[in-house]
Amino acid sequence: MNSVPESEIIIEALLFASGDPVSLEKIADIIGYDKKTARGIMTSLINKYQNSARGIMLREIDEGYQLCTKPELDEYIVKLGAARKKQGLTPAAYETLSVIAYNQPVTRAFIEQIRGVNSDSVLQKLMERNLVYEAGRDDTPGKPKLYKTTEEFLRIFGFSSIKDLPPLGMNEIQEVMENIPLD
């Protein structure tokens, strides 16, 4: 007789079949529980995967959940040929991504004011890599595009939500403030 609760079995099947993050709301709806109960089940599942010798883990990503392979097994996944190629970001891309992550939603003009250089090509590369996206338009004159980070950004950098970003220290804030060009 199986001692695993049916709701956990269903959730595992959903997450496996999806491949992408599935929202807590969708999981709760499918298993027939309220969101609070479903969140408790998900927390329990995350702990079960963390405390067992398995090749997969369950990650919370922006109010959704996804089954992922454990990062320490990447060298074996690469041999399968199915792993995403890890291409490093340039310092300019990291800088731009940081400005967006910590201040989102932001306009290109805001990014360029902080960085002091044109950011068109860097923004395009970050969008191609699905790390940032156009999140609408600002209500200021000219209606400039707004940029935010994606779920892929959270997944790659290991955050459950944008609230998990490490706090900026006073040194980083002071350095940014000193580099803002004043007109």
Does the pTM surpass 0.75? The reply is no
Report pLDDT for 40: 93
Task: Determine contact, residues 31/7, Cβ cutoff 8 Å.
Answer: yes
CA atoms of 63 and 57, how far apart (whole Å): 16
Residues 20, 66 contacting (CB under 8 angstroms) = yes
Whether residue 1 has pLDDT greater than 70? no
CA distance 77 to 84: 9
pLDDT (tens digit, 9 = 90+) per residue, 42-65? 999 999 998 888 899 898 887 889
Query: What is the structure's pLDDT at 105?
Result: 94
Q: Is the pLDDT of residue 183 over 50?
A: no
Tell me the three state secondary structure of residue 111. Answer: helix
**Average pLDDT estimate for 154-183:** 67
Q: Which pLDDT value is given to residue 109? A: 92
The domains found in the chain, sorted by start residue, are 6-80 (1.10.10.10), 91-178 (1.10.10.10)
